[in-house]
Structure 1
Amino acid sequence: MDLSMEISLVCIVDAEGRKVAAQCIDSTPKAIVALLERHGPMERVVIETGRITPWVALGLHELGVAIVCIDARQAHQSIKAMKAYKTDPHDAAGLAQLARTGFYKEVHGKSPTSHGVRSMITARAHLVEARVRLDNAFRGLCATFGIRPGAGQGERFLARVRAAIAVPGLGDAVAALLRARIGLVDEIRQMDREIKAISIASPACQTLMSIPGLGVQTSAAFAAAVDEAGRFKRPHTARAYFGLVPRGHQSGELDWTGRITKQGDGTVRKLLYEAANSILTRTRQTFALKT
C-alpha cells in the first residue's frame, strides 16, 4: 500500500509476482480491510513509514491483518531501481514486490503511549520556539524606537518590554505580543508539569534520571523512542538507531570514516547532546560516565 492522507493505492500480487488487483481506496483501516477481504486472505501487507502509518498500522493490526511496516528510505531506493520514474501506482507495485520477496527492513511500530509522549515533547518544543520568536520580535520593534530590552528572557528583559508599552506608536503592538507571550509561558509550564508526571510514573525514566545531568525531557523522550528495550540486541544497535555512529564508506582501496549519520530521531539526538554537554560542563561530581 502506498499511503497518503486521503486516498491510498493498493496493489496485490500473487506468489509469482503477477498483479491481481490495483485500486485506490480511502486511507482508513476499515476500507483497506474490506478491499483485502474481497481478494481472499493475504500473506502479508507492507506499508512505508510516514505520518499516518502508526494509525493505519495499529488499526489493521487490531482488525487481524498481518501488517509489516518498512523503512521508507530503503523502500525508496529499491523502488527507484525497479522503476524509471516515480508515480503512486509504481510505488504500490514496488512495495507489493518487496512484500512478495521479503527484501525489506521491518521497523518497530511504537505503542500509542510512546507516540503520546513524543507528541507532548514536540508540542512543547513548538511552544518554546514561538516564545523565542516573540522575544526576538520585541527586540526588533523596540529597536526602532531606541529601546533595547537586552538579552535573555528574565525579569529585567520583561521589565524593559513593559516599559515600552508607554511609548506612543509602539505600546499597542508590544501589549498584544506580551499578552500572547504570557499565554505561551503558561502553556509551557503546564506541559512541563505533565511531562514531569509522566517521568515520575515511569521506572525507565527514573533509572535514566538517576544519572547526573539527565533531566525530565531527555529521559521521557529517550524512553518513548526506545519503547521496547529488548529490540536492541547490542548497544551499538541503539547508537545507530539514533544516528550516533560514524558514517563509513568503503570501495576498493578507499576506506574512510566520516561524521555521525544523523539518522533516526533528531529530537532525541539533540536532547542526548544537551545532556552530555551538561554532564561534562555543569555536573561537578566525578563518575564513570563523565570520565
Structure 2
Amino acid sequence: MEYFAGLDISMEETHVCVLDREGAVVHEAKTMSTAEAIVASLAKAPTCQRVVFETGRMAPMLYHGLFERGVPVVCIESRQAYQALKSLATHKTDRNDARGLAHLARTGFFKPTHVKSLPAHAVRSLIIARKKLVGQRVMLENQIRGLAVVFGVRLPRALSPAFIKQALQSSEGIDGLSAAMRGLIGARAAVLSAVSAIDADLKRMAKASNACRRLMTIPGVGKLTALAFTAAVDDPERFRRSRDIGAYLGLVPRRYQSGEVDYTGSISKCGDRRTRTLLYEAANVMLTRYKAPLKLRDWALAIAARSTMRKARVALARRLAIIMHAMLRHGTVFRPA
C-alpha cells in the first residue's frame, strides 16, 4: 500500500495529514514547524511515497531540512494549490488544507516548483536589502529638498558634498529647520554607509564567482545583474531549453484565448521582479552607451526602428537572459562577434 502526506505550514505550527492510495486518512497531527518535529510526526505513520507542501516563507528551510533527512518532499506553487484546495473543502482550515494537499500528493495533480538553494536565497536577500536602502536614501534626499525649497533654496540634484553643504547653510538660524536637516542628513549618511558595505560584499562575491565573472563579459552586465541572475537561475540544468528562461522571468507576452477571443498582451511580469528590472537596465545600457560594433545591439535597434525603443529593451532583455543562461550551462564567455 502506498501512502501520501500533506503539510500545511505556518510560522509556529504545521498540520500533517497522511492518506493511503484510496484516500482514507491514516494519520493526522499538529506539530512544530521544524524539520525535526515534522520528521518525528511522519515517523508515526507508514512510510510516505510523497510529501507535499506549498511555497511560502518557511518553504526553503523546511524543504532542504526534510530533503537532507530522506523525506520525499515536493514543493508546489501556492497559487495552483489554492485553486485545487478551494474545490476540495467548503471551509478553509489548516486541517482541511493539509488533507487537501495530501489528496494532491495522492492524485499527482500538481506541478512541482524548484526550491532555490540557501546560498541563492542569501544573495537575493542582500540584493533586496540594497534596493530597500537605496529607496530610503532617495526618500531622505527628496525630503531634504522639500524642506529647503519652502525657504527658497533649490538644492542640486547631483549627489556631491555641495548638496550637504547647501542644505546645512539653508537651515542656519532656523531652530526647527536646522534640527530637521541635521537629523535627515545624519540618517542619509548612515544609509549611504550601509549601501557601501553591501556593495563591497557584492563586489567580493562577484569576484569570487566564476559564473559571475563570465556573465560580466557581456556589455552592460555588472556585478549586481550577474549575481541576481545566477541567484534566480540557481541550477541552470533545471531548464530544458535556454529560451524557457524568458517565460520564467516574465519577459514573454501574455496570451489569452477563449473561444473566438484570442489576443496577445504585454509581458507577463512573472518571476523575480528585481532580476527582470536589472536585465532591462542592462539592455538599456547596451543600447544607449555601448558604441562598439555588436550584432546583438543592431538586432535590438532594428526592432526599435519598426516598433518602439521600450519594446526593443524588453526584447533585448529577454535575449540577454537566454544568452546568460546558455553561458552558465556551457561554461562559456561572451563573444561579441
Q: Per the shorter chain, which TM-score range?
A: over 0.9
Contact 2:148 2:171 in 1 (8 A): no
What is the alpha-carbon distance in structure 2 between the residues aligned to residue 24 and residue 174 of structure 1?
Answer: 54
Q: TM-score, normalised by structure 2?
A: 0.82
Given candidates 111, 115, 125, the residue that maps to 1:109 is 115
CA drift at 1:134? 0.8
In structure 1, which of residues 127, 142, 147 is the aligned counterpart of residue 153 of structure 2?
Answer: 147
- Counterpart secondary structure, 2:262: strand
Say whether residues 1:74 and 2:90 are aligned partners.
Answer: no
Q: Check if 1:237 corresponds to 2:244.
A: yes
Quote how far apart the aligned CAs of 1:206 are: 1.2
- Match of 2:131, SS state, is helix
In structure 1, what is the Cα distance between the partners aligned to 2:244 and 2:161?
45
Q: Residue 274 of structure 2 aligns to which amino acid in structure 1?
A: T
Alignment CA distance shift 1:7-1:167 (3 Å)? farther
Looking at structure 2, the residues matched to 44 and 223 of structure 1 have their Cα atoms a distance apart, in angstroms, of 30
Q: 37, 48, 52: which is aligned to 1:42? A: 48
- Greater mean alpha carbon deviation, residues 146-155 or residues 67-76: 146-155
Compute the displacement of 1:85 (Å).
4.5
Q: Is 1:15 paired with 2:21?
A: yes
Aligned counterpart, 2:317: none
1:54 alignment partner in structure 2: 60
1:38 alignment partner, SS class: coil
Q: Deviations 1:174-222 (Å, cap 9, x if unpaired)?
A: 1122112111111111111111111111121111110111111011000
Structure 2 residue 140 is matched with structure 1 residue 134? yes
Instruction: Give the distance between the partners of 1:124 and 1:105, measured in 2 at CA.
Output: 33
Letter in 2 for 1:94: G
Superposed, 1:1-291 pairs within 5 Å as: 1-168=7-174, 169-291=176-298
**Counterpart code for 1:228:** D
Q: Which runs of 5 or more structure 2 residues have no equivalent in the other structure?
A: 1-6, 299-337
Shift of 1:133: 1.3
Aligned-partner Cα distance in 2 for 1:289–1:88? 51
Residues of 2 paired with 1:135 and 1:85: CA distance?
Answer: 49
8 Å CA contact retained: 1:61, 1:67:
yes
For residue 83 of structure 1, what is the amino acid of its counterpart?
A
| CA distances 1:113-140 after superposition (whole Å, capped 9, x unpaired) | 1111111111111111111111111122
Give the Cα separation in 1 of the matches to 2:58 and 2:149: 44
TM-score by length of 1: 0.95
Q: 1:86 & 1:274 partners in 2: Cα distance?
A: 43
> Any gaps of 5 or more consecutive residues in structure 1?
none
Report the 3-state secondary structure (helix = DSSP H, G, I; strand = E; otherwise coil) of the residue aligned with 1:16: coil
Distance in structure 1 (CA, Å) of the matches to 2:279 and 2:203: 17
Q: Percent identity?
A: 46
1:104 partner amino acid: F
